[in-house]
């Protein structure tokens, strides 16, 4: 007998196919305590691409002082196939980061904005309003070079300092980022507090503001165990791009096997059960996550990875 499988039972009204936007090498590893060697990072990205993930965010050109885990961004991307069929975006915080990404030959970047005043101050060293002036030249110069730009909006469902974040504030930030020229918004529940009704209301509010589900991706963290339920709620709204990290990497670096991003494998299990196409080889991702857990010296937070280990 092979491994366990979900029985496929479709649900009416859901998309037929979704895109899993893999963030493990970037959002996952930047939040791990361990600093992973360059060759392990490269192998991680290559294994994820080989597993069929259609897009893999490879690293971040944030200053190494802030994210020492990804200080080798330039060396990493130098060894990757940046012109291949699979986009390998990199996070770019500012113009200096963009310069480095351009120099490295990157064709896809992502900027990281804040939905709240406090996080803009603490993480971006700017204000809710001034962040747009900061991102404007980054996006414009990237587009001038034919580089695609995704925009993350962080703290969309709650903020550790401000608590609840008004939905209209998130929509306002998101639409301005699209106005700068971003092709896609990734709506992040950075602290994982959001719940299913909130997800539905946020996607609907974007729709009411003229931003369709084709411009949106959802980025859930599993801090409070809500990530997969929230992904299902977003699917019901017609969302077709989901950020996830192989093995659920990206937990708090100081808590053993704390929950990080929505695990790619747990998402795939649900999609397989729903008969929704994604093109990813689950067993290959699980094998990659088991290998990466050995590199990191801690068990994977993904339930599917644990069950199949």
Stretch that binds a second copy, among 34-42, 112-120, 152-160, 207-215 (CB under 8 A): 152-160
The catalytic residue among 252, 255, 256, 283 is 252
Q: In whole angstroms, how large is the CA radius of gyration of the chain?
A: 18
Helical axes 38-50 vs 282-296, angle rounded to 10°: 170
Nearer to a second copy, 222 or 243 (CB): 222
Nearer to a second copy, 135 or 206 (CB): 206
Helical axes 130-144 vs 95-103, angle rounded to 10°: 20
Stretch that binds a second copy, among 39-47, 65-73, 90-98, 301-309 (CB under 8 A): 301-309
Q: Among the residues of 186-226, which ranges form H helices?
A: 196-208
Query: Of these, 143, 270, 284, 287, which contacts a second copy (CB under 8 A)?
Result: 270
Give yes or no: 252 in active site: yes
Round to whole Å and give the CA distance between 209 and 213. 11
| Phi/psi at 180 (5° precision) | -70, -20
Site for a second copy in 188-227 (CB under 8 A): 191-198, 200-201, 222-226
Binding flag, residue 302, a second copy (CB under 8 A): yes
Round to whole Å and give the CA distance between 302 and 192. 15
DSSP conformation class of 25: I
Binding flag, residue 257, a second copy (CB under 8 A): yes
Nearer to a second copy, 26 or 221 (CB): 221
Cβ neighbours of residue 2 under 8 Å, at least 6 residues apart? Answer: none
Round to whole Å and give the CA distance between 177 and 191. 21
**In the complex, what is the shortest distance from the CB of residue 198 to a second copy, in angstroms, rounded to a whole number?**
4
Contact 168, 206 (CB under 8 A): no
Query: Of these, 232, 238, 281, 291, which contacts a second copy (CB under 8 A)?
Result: 232
Nearer to a second copy, 176 or 236 (CB): 236
Binding site for a second copy (CB under 8 A): 1, 4-11, 157-158, 160-161, 163-165, 191-198, 200-201, 222-226, 228-229, 231-233, 255-259, 263, 265-266, 269-270, 272-275, 299, 302-304, 306-307
Catalytic residues: 252
């Amino acid at each position: 007998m092979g491994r366990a499988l979900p029985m496929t039972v479709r649900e009416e009204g859901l998309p037929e196919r979704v895109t899993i936007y893999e963030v493990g090498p970037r959002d996952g590893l930047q939040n791990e305590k361990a600093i992973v060697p360059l060759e392990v990072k490269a192998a991680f990205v290559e294994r994820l691409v080989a597993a069929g993930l259609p897009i893999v965010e490879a690293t971040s050109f944030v200053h190494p002082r802030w994210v020492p885990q990804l200080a080798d961004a330039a060396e990493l991307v130098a060894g990757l196939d940046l012109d291949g069929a699979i986009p390998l975006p990199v996070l770019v915080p500012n113009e200096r980061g963009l310069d480095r990404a351009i120099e490295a030959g990157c064709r896809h970047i992502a900027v990281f904005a804040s939905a709240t005043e406090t996080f803009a101050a603490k993480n971006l060293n700017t204000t809710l309003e001034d962040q747009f002036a900061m991102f404007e030249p980054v996006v414009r110069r990237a587009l001038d070079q034919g580089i695609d730009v995704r925009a993350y909006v962080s703290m969309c469902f709650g903020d550790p300092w401000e608590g609840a974040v008004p939905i209209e504030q998130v929509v306002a930030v998101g639409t301005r980022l699209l106005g700068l020229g971003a092709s896609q918004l990734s709506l992040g529940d950075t602290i994982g507090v959001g719940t299913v009704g909130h997800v539905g209301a946020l996607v609907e509010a974007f729709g009411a503001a003229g931003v369709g589900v084709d411009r949106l991706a959802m980025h859930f963290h599993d801090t409070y165990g809500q990530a997969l339920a929230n992904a299902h709620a977003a699917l019901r709204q017609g969302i077709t791009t989901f950020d996830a990290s192989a093995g659920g990497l990206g937990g708090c670096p100081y808590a053993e096997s704390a929950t990080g991003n929505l695990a790619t494998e747990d998402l795939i299990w649900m999609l397989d059960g729903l008969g929704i196409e994604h093109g990813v080889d689950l067993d290959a991702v699980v094998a990659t996550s088991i290998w990466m857990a050995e590199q990191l010296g801690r068990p994977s937070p993904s339930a599917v990875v644990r069950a199949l280990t």
